[in-house]
Amino acid sequence: MGWEQIEISLPNCSSLQVISFPVVQLHLNRTAMRASQKDFENAMNQVKLLKKDPGNEAKLKLYALYKQATEGPCNMPKPGVFDLINKAKWDAWNALGSLPKETARQNYVDLVSSLSSSLESSSQVEPGTDRKSTGYETLMVTSEDGITKIMLNRPTKKNALNVEMYHEIMHALKAASKDDSAITVLTGNGDYYSSGNDLTNFTDIPPGGVEEKAKNGAILLREFVGCFIDFPKPLIAMVNGPAVGISVTLLGLFDAVYASDRATFHTPFSHLGQSPEGCSSYTFPKIMSPAKAIEMLVFGKKLTAGEACAQGLVTEVFPDSTFQKEVWTRLKAFAKLPPNAMRISKEIIRNREKEKLHAVNAEECSVLQGRWLSDECMNAVVNFLSRKSKL
């Protein structure tokens, strides 16, 4: 009888729970659905056909709009603070306030339509696309003046990397490696460079359980970091604000790192029950000495931009007020240099380390796979999601 399941799952202290909720209920209220009932039903069917998981945020929006369209404003008692899944659902529905049913129905149809087109087109962006690459859900990718700019674009989530963003960055890097730009730049939209791994990535548990989730995470992470190790052109980070976790560790694989003096560099892996990735267990001790690397990667010491520059992780620091102007002027000059010479010079500097970096990457991912199953890690994620702790 038409129960389409979309799963939102959140960890529960020592074990991980999956709760499914109905987003499609085909016995709809006929009066409420009159004019666009067909569109609504079509949209509900379209949800089943999405080729990629739209992510928890979108699923929650779909849930809320569905409930609003069929039942009207949220009329359920607010779940307790530890009932994370039902609270997330309640929050999403309740946030719609007194939105009329008809508008909710229309918004549901619009959302499904935009999800269908963005999830379709994000896997169809051709390498070498010039100017603006549309179709990315979590990035803004532009190419001009010989520079491909990949901008992390989830500013309201401090550019946390969700699963979709990992895939889109890999796609954008592969496209940039083949386009006609000379250099590639990674930066963040908004006040953060990136707050690192999206901690809700840990909450969407597949039928194979947490072990399968951890295994898939390790596979994805290995492939993701591999794209940075193998990137053939000069790769530059413009660290526009605070950087956390994996967005910091990856910097050891960039060819230049320019930072605003507002940026900070924080790798709180022990606090999160996790261990270093992005090849930082190898690159950081080489860049800054083993003792300084341990302060960051084991004890979670947060560095200012000036300190990160003194340790060799950052190439140069700029005042925030002139950061964009000064760095772009410099990058435009770099991009005018002969691209083949730059590529070949990077190759000769980096290539003898590549095999080692891939081996380090594999080992780090395998260690992390085990860490993600630990109580230490699960408790840290639950604490963040239930807002008991922040960095």
Which residues sit at the interface with ligand LQSD347O, rule CB under 6 A?
A: 157-158, 160, 166, 195-201, 217, 220-221, 244-246, 272, 274, 277, 384, 390-391
Query: 3-state DSSP helix/strand/coil percent for the chain, to nearest 5?
Result: 50, 15, 35
List beta partners, residue 147. 144, 183
The candidate with the shortest Cα–Cα distance to 99, out of 67, 73, 71, is 73
Backbone angles phi, psi at 46, to 5 degrees: -65, -35
Which of 7/39 has CB closer to ligand LQSD347O? Answer: 7
Q: How far is the CB of 385 from ligand LQSD347O (least distance, A)?
A: 8
Q: How far is the CB of 170 from ligand LQSD347O (least distance, A)?
A: 11
Which of 65/246 has CB closer to ligand LQSD347O? Answer: 246
Q: How far is the CB of 319 from ligand LQSD347O (least distance, A)?
A: 22
If phi over 0 gives left and psi between -120 and 50 gives alpha, with beta otherwise, what is residue 250?
Answer: alpha
Q: How far is the CB of 234 from ligand LQSD347O (least distance, A)?
A: 24
Q: How far is the CB of 60 from ligand LQSD347O (least distance, A)?
A: 10
Which of 196/234 has CB closer to ligand LQSD347O? Answer: 196
CA–CA separation, 237 vs 189, rounded Å?
A: 13
CA–CA separation, 310 vs 252, rounded Å?
A: 14
Which of 181/267 has CB closer to ligand LQSD347O? Answer: 267
Which of 20/389 has CB closer to ligand LQSD347O? Answer: 389
List beta partners, residue 7. 20
Q: Decide: helix, strand or coil at residue 257.
A: strand
Extract the tokens encoding 305: 């931009």
CA Rg value for the chain: 22
Q: How far is the CB of 213 from ligand LQSD347O (least distance, A)?
A: 10
Which of 60/335 has CB closer to ligand LQSD347O? Answer: 60
**Burial of residue 309 (number of CB atoms within 10 Å: 0-12, 13-18, 19+):** buried
Which of 184/201 has CB closer to ligand LQSD347O? Answer: 201
Which of 40/265 has CB closer to ligand LQSD347O? Answer: 265
Cβ atoms of 172 and 133 closer than 8 Å: yes
CA–CA separation, 273 vs 269, rounded Å?
A: 6
Residue nearest to ligand LQSD347O (CB): 245
The candidate with the shortest Cα–Cα distance to 247, out of 270, 230, 224, is 224
Cβ atoms of 56 and 200 closer than 8 Å: yes
Which of 166/282 has CB closer to ligand LQSD347O? Answer: 166
Q: How far is the CB of 198 from ligand LQSD347O (least distance, A)?
A: 4
Taking residue 153's Cβ as centre, other Cβ atoms within 10 Å add up to 17
**Burial of residue 49 (number of CB atoms within 10 Å: 0-12, 13-18, 19+):** exposed
